[in-house]
Structure 1
Amino acid sequence: MREPGDPGPEIVVVTGMSGAGRSTVGKVMEDRGWYVIDNLPISLLPDLLHISAEREGKLVGDSPVKRIGIVLNVRARGFDTLAESIRLLTERGWRTHLIFLDATNEALVRRFESVRRPHPLRGTGRLLDAIVREREVLADLRATAESVVDTSGLNVHQLSRKVGPLFMTGSDERLRLAVLSFGFKYGVPLDADFVFDMRFLPNPFWVPELRPHTGRETRVADFVLSQPGAREFIDGVETLMDPVIAGYLRENRRYVTLAVGCTGGKHRSVAIAEAVAARLSSDEVTTFVVHRDPGQE
C-alpha cells in the first residue's frame, strides 16, 4: 500500500507537433531516470497507472518507478481523448503534467525535408497542408498544456539542455526558469512567457574587434553591461520578476521561459541573458540559459 503522504508516481505526457523533437525529449527523460513509454494507446493509460499503484510503483524488475514519461504523437490510438484522460487522472489525485512541443511551420518543413520522412497527416497532399492541419487538430490540447516548448532553431543538444530541467527532481528546485537569448531577425520564441528587447543598447556588431565574438565572452559582456541603461535594466527585471516568481511558487508552476532578444541574437541578448539568469537564481529558483541563435549568421 502507498504510505500516507506519498503522492505516488509522477506522470508526464509529452506530445506536440510532428517533427518538434519528441524523440529527443524522450531520450532526455530516460537519461534522467524516467520510465518512458512511446505511443501508448490512450485507453491503456488508466490501466498502466492502476498497475503502477497496485505494485507500489514497480513496473520494471524490482526497481521502484516513481517517474513515468509517456511520449505521444497524433497517430496514437485514442489521441482525441488525451485531454479528457489527463483531466480525469488529475481529479483522481495523480500528479499528471502535459508538455507540448511546438515549432514554426518553416522549421517543421525543413526538418521533414531533411530526414525525408512522411508527415503522419500528409496523405497525398502537400507537407505544409499536413502541418497546418495538425496544428488545428492540436490547438485545444496546446492551450491546456502546463508547459509549451518552442524547438524552432534549436539543434538536438540545445533542445536537450532546454528541456532537461523540466525533468529534474528535488524539493529545492520548485521553479525552473529558462532564460533564452534570441535574434528578432530569426523570430520570437513561441514559448516565451516574457520577452525583453535589448535593441535599445549599442550593438557590438558595429565594433570591428567585437563583431566575431559572442556575448558569452568577457570582452563583449563588459562592453554591453557598461552601456547606459544595461545594469538598470537588469535591476528592473529583478524587481518585475520577484512578485511573479513568488506567485508561480504559490501556484506550483514548474517551468517558465524568459526570452531576451536583440537583432541577431549574438551579442547583447546573450550577455544580458547570462546576467539576468545569474541575478534571478536563488534557493527557490533554478535558472539556466539557452542561446538559440549564435552561429546563425
Structure 2
Amino acid sequence: MGMPSEGSAPGVYAEGGGEVVVVTGMTGAGRSTVAKELEDLGFYVVDNLPPSLLPQVVRLVDESRGRSQRIAVVVDVRSGSFFDDLQEALAPGATGRRSTMVFLDAADEVLVRRQEAVRRPHPLQGHGRLLEGLERERVALADLRGSADLVIDTTTLNVHQLTKRITEAFGTPDTTSLKMVVISFGFKYGIPVDADFVADMRFLPNPFWVPELRAGNGRDNTDVAAYVYSRPGAEEFLEGYLPVLTGVAEGYLREGKRFMRVAVGCTGGKHRSVAMSEEIVRRLTAEGYDARAVHRDLGRE
C-alpha cells in the first residue's frame, strides 16, 4: 500500500484514494476553526504545510493509515514562496487523489478586529500597520482565491455557522457530487460576496404592497408563493434560468468543482427571492441535483 503502480512516475499514485482538502485564505478568516472541524470529521490534518511537501504527506498517510484516509492541509501566508508550488502539488496525478481547495475570506475591517482581539500581529505586517499586512496578503493570495473550489466569506459567520458550512460540505463520505446552495437575500442588506451567480427578482411585483400578503413570506405562506409564481415573467424566468444553472453545474462537475452557490435577491429578502429560491431548489431536486435553500435575510426586518 502506498507504492506507485508499475510504470508510473515516482510520487504519482493511481486515482481512487480519499480526497485532499487544502485550506487557505486570509489571516483571521477562520482557518484554524475549519482545520479543527475537518479533524472532527475524520480528516488527517496538517497545519502550515509547505505545498511542496504535500505529495510526501499523502504518501506517508497512504502507508500508515490507508488510501481511504482523507487528508486536510492548511496553507497560509507563512509558507511564503512555497505558494508557487501549490498548483504543481495539486496537479492531476501529483498525489493520486482528488483535491479540493477551500479559500476563507472576510472583509478587511472584520479581519483587523479579529486580529486585534487576539493581540496578534499580521505575519506580513513588519513594522507597519496591521491593515498594510492584510493588503500584502490579499495581493499574494489573489490567484489562489480565483482558482479555489469553494470560497467561504466569514464576515458575518460565527464559529458555529462556519463549522456548519464545513460539515455540510465534507461531513459525508461521498463528496463527489455537486452541492448546490440557493441563497435568498435582500439587496438592502448587500449581495452575498461568495455567490457564483446572482439573480434579481425585483422585476416581479412586490407582495409587500398587497396588504393581506405583507406579513407573510415566500417560504411559509402559500398565498405569497402563489402570488409570486403567477406574476407575468415568473415562469418564463424559471424556464430560462434553470437550464443555465444545470448547464453550468454539469460543466462544474466536468472540471472537478463540487460546490455552487446561487444568490436570488429582492428588496428585503422576504417575499419574491424566498419564493423563487424555494421553487428553484424544488425543480433542481426533481432533476436529481443535491440542492438546498438558505434564506439569509428572512426574519431580519
Query: What TM-score, normalized by structure 1, do the two folds share?
Result: 0.80
Partner of 2:275: 271
2:59 pairs with 1:55: no
Q: 1:13 corresponds to which residue? A: 22
Q: How does 1:130-149 map to 2 (within 5 A)?
A: 130-149=133-152
Relative to structure 2, which stretch is displaced further, 42-51 or 204-213? 204-213
Q: Which residue of 1 aligns with 2:254?
A: 250
Instruction: Specify the alignment match of 1:293 in structure 2.
Output: 297
Report the equivalent of 1:29: 38
Structure 1 position 260, deviation (Å): 1.0
1:271 is matched by which residue type in structure 2? A
Q: What is the CA distance between 1:238 and its match in structure 2?
A: 1.8
Aligned residue type for 2:26:
M
- CA 1:120–1:207: 2 relative to 1, 3 Å: farther
* Per-residue Cα deviation, 1:177-208 (whole angstroms, up to 9, x for no partner): 12122232333333322211111123344456
Identity fraction in percent: 53
2:46 and 2:156 mapped to 1: Cα distance?
A: 27
2:292 aligned counterpart, secondary structure: strand
CA drift of 1:22 comes to 2.1
SS in 1 for 2:35: helix
How many Å apart are 1:213 and its aligned residue? 5.2
Query: What runs of 5+ residues in structure 1 fail to find an aligned partner?
Result: 58-63
Does residue 105 (structure 1) correspond to residue 126 (structure 2)? The answer is no
Aligned length: 291
Alpha-carbon contact 1:173-1:285 (below 8 Å) kept: no
1:38 aligned residue = 47
8 A contact 2:179–2:260 mirrored in 1: yes
Q: Does residue 290 of structure 2 align to residue 281 of structure 1?
A: no
Q: Structure 2: give runs of 5+ residues left out of the alignment.
A: 6-13
2:71 corresponding residue in structure 1: 68
Q: What amino acid maps onto 1:281 in structure 2?
A: T
Change (3 A) 1:117 1:212: farther
Are 1:182 and 2:185 an aligned pair?
A: yes
Aligned to 2:154: 151
Whichever residue aligns with residue 140 of structure 1, its letter is D
**Contact kept in structure 2, 1:90 and 1:96, CA below 8 Å:** no
Distance in 1, matches of 2:210 and 2:117, equals 37
Cα 1:161–1:211 shift into 2, 3 Å: farther
Aligned to 1:240, the other structure's residue is in SS state helix
Task: Note if 1:238 corresponds to 2:247.
Answer: no
**Match of 2:89, SS?**
helix
Tell me the secondary structure at the aligned position of residue 77 of structure 2.
coil
Structure 2 residue 171 is matched with structure 1 residue 191 = no
Instruction: Indicate how the Cα distance of structure 1 residues 191 and 213 shifts in structure 2: closer, same or farther if over 3 A, else same.
Output: same
The 1:137–1:149 alpha-carbon spacing in structure 2 relative to 1, beyond 3 Å, is: same
Tell me how far apart the structure 2 counterparts of residues 208 and 155 of structure 1 sit (CA, whole Å): 36
C-alpha RMSD of matched pairs (Å)? 3.3
Shift of 1:173: 5.5
**Does 141-150 or 211-220 show the bigger shift?**
211-220
Could you say which residue in structure 1 is the equivalent of 2:218?
A: 215
Q: Contact (CA 8 Å) 1:17, 1:134: kept in 2 or not? A: yes
Question: Do the aligned partners of 2:15 and 2:98 also contact (CA within 8 Å) in 1?
Answer: no
The answer to whether the Cα contact below 8 Å between 2:52 and 2:82 also exists between their aligned partners in 1 is no
